[in-house]
């Protein structure tokens, strides 16, 4: 059946698709005619790959709050990986399915069985530095995984409408000399991770154009939180500062301090993901704050919260942390998202650092 312009609320089975955003509010329910005289309300359903990650955990929270039934793909490991969604596991509308994004056949079965209205493809080997050591595996998860998701959605749309969100990245812009980057800026990827994301981006656009699938890319710039993995630079810094203050760590080893990133808050960015799939038409959006800071700025802002510490006394450079090819300066222009989705970031750079420092020093409340 495929995506058709939004005015058409009838699908091929004669069922009625309720508009998903009504007078600025949200309908967590789909309305279906029943026995020609009454209607039944059907709960909206989402499938999230990468639900155990930073973004997956915030997105699951958001969708459950909105009244969705949520299915999540979780890797089977010998140790606990559900730390970030531990507080949600008892929720009656959260359903966990073991699986791996590189197992396309299993993913297809899960998608066809769960029949989601929306699929958010967040699963990935998402660490850029590591992708130089693991280029094949990174490509299998990032690019192959996205293709499996798109294929599964293409199959499902034979029987019902489904919308797909693809987690694209500002890393795709690489070292292009155009600032800020927008939806029409050229890609110049600088890592195996970014190359794989570019492939997934174009596959998503092509499934939209060729097969009529409602598939959209969110080109998200760096977003952080107290749930950010400890091996990304922001969390590495806030965790280290807190440990150094407690006397649990002496030095903080870092790579390039001059790299500049447009850092936002993950809680704001999952809201943008959801809005992208509620838009009338499938299209791609840059999601960013529009403000860029260097790693050095992040150190300054973090250590401002620790009166007795100077970062210059504890930070040392480790050449192993310098990337073979670095992305030097990213800053995004998200005016398309502001105009069409009404999306704007709520947390600024100083607020983000404060949130992370307060969490890591144990005085803050997790958001
Ligand atoms: P993250 O914290 O690293 O989470 C990645 C998720 O993918 C985790 O749930 C992880 O599971 C899962 N995963 C990894 N390999 C998998 C596999 N083989 N099979 C199934 N699941 C697998 O990343 P994030 O920061 O939440 O980012 C979410 C997505 O957005 C990623 O695709 C990332 O590349 C993209 N993105 C992130 C940013 C950012 O700044 N955060 C910006 C742009 C785009 P485990 O918990 O088991 O490891
Ligand atoms: O925190 P990072 O590792 O994030 P990076 O490479 O920008 O990637 C993140 O954001 C992307 C969006 O643009 C996502 F697509 C991706 O999945 C991931 O979430 O590094 C940020 C900067 C880099 O320039 C890096 O070279 O910090 C520099 N850096 C300096 N010292 C370091 C370190 N990065 C890390 N991870 N560890 C260091 O010790």
Tens-digit pLDDT profile for residues 105-134: 999 999 999 999 999 999 999 999 999 999
Mean local confidence (pLDDT), 6-19: 30
Mean local confidence (pLDDT), 49-73: 98
Ligand with minimal distance to 233 CA: 2
CB of 152 within 6 A of ligand 1: the answer is no
pLDDT of residue 337: 98
- Relative to the CA of 49, which ligand 1 atom is closest? 21
**Ligand 2 site-directed mutation target among 260, 261, 272, most atoms within 8 Å of CB:** 261
Mean local confidence (pLDDT), 342-360: 98
Exposure letters 272-301 (e unless 16+ CB within 10 A, then b): bbbbbbebeebebbbbbbbebbbbbbbbeb
Cα gap 214→203, rounded to integer Å: 13
Q: What mean pLDDT, rounded, does the chain reach?
A: 91
Task: Look at 45-59, 74-88, 136-150 and tell me which has the smallest mean pLDDT.
Answer: 74-88
CB of 74 within 6 A of ligand 2: the answer is no
- Relative to the CA of 228, which ligand 1 atom is closest? 2
CA of 232 to the centre of ligand 2 (A): 6
5 band by pLDDT with thresholds 50, 70 and 90: very low
Cα gap 298→233, rounded to integer Å: 9
pLDDT of residue 42: 81
Ligand with minimal distance to 100 CA: 1
pTM higher than 0.85, yes or no?
yes
- Helices first, then strands: H and E counts in the chain: 12, 17
Q: Whose CA is nearest to atom 43 of ligand 1?
A: 169
Is position 193 annotated as part of the catalytic site? yes
CB of 223 within 6 A of ligand 1: the answer is yes
For residues 357 and 242, the answer to whether their CB atoms sit within 8 Å is yes
Place of tokens 């802002």: 301
Active-site residue, from 171, 224, 301, 358: 171
pLDDT, tens digit, for every residue of 188-241? Answer: 999 999 999 999 999 999 999 999 999 999 999 999 999 999 999 999 999 999
CA of 50 to the centre of ligand 1 (A): 5
């Amino acid at each position: 059946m495929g995506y058709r312009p939004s005015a058409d609320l009838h699908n091929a089975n004669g069922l009625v698709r309720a508009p998903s955003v009504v007078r600025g509010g949200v309908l967590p329910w789909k309305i279906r005619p029943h026995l020609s005289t009454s209607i039944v309300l059907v709960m909206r359903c989402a499938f999230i790959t990468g639900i155990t990650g930073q973004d997956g955990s915030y997105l699951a929270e958001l969708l459950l709050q909105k009244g969705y039934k949520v299915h999540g793909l979780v890797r089977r490991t010998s140790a606990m990986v559900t730390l970030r969604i531990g507080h949600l596991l008892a929720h009656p509308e959260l359903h966990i399915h073991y699986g791996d994004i590189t197992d396309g056949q299993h993913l297809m079965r899960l998608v066809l069985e769960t029949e989601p209205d929306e699929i958010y493809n967040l699963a990935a080997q998402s660490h850029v530095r590591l992708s130089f050591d693991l280029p094949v595996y990174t490509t299998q998860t990032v690019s192959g995984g996205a293709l499996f998701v798109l294929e599964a959605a293409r199959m499902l749309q034979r029987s019902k409408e489904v919308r797909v969100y693809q987690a694209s990245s500002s890393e795709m812009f690489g070292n292009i000399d155009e600032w800020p980057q927008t939806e029409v800026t050229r890609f110049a990827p600088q890592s195996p991770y970014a190359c794989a994301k570019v492939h997934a981006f174009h596959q998503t656009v092509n499934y939209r154009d060729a097969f009529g699938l409602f598939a959209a890319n969110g080109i998200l710039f760096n977003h952080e939180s107290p749930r950010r993995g400890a091996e990304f630079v922001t969390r590495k810094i806030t965790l280290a500062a807190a440990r150094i203050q407690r006397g649990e760590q002496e030095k903080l080893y870092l790579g390039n301090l001059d790299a500049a990133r447009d850092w936002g808050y993950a809680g704001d960015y999952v809201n943008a993901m959801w809005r992208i799939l509620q838009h009338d038409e499938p299209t791609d959006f840059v999601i960013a704050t529009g403000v860029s800071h260097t790693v050095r700025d992040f150190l300054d802002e973090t250590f401002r919260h620790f009166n007795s510490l100077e970062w210059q006394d504890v930070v040392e450079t480790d050449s192993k942390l310098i990337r073979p090819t670095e992305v030097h300066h990213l800053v995004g222009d998200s005016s398309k998202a502001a105009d069409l989705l009404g999306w704007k970031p709520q947390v600024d750079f100083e607020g983000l650092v404060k949130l992370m420092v307060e969490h890591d020093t144990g005085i803050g409340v997790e958001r």
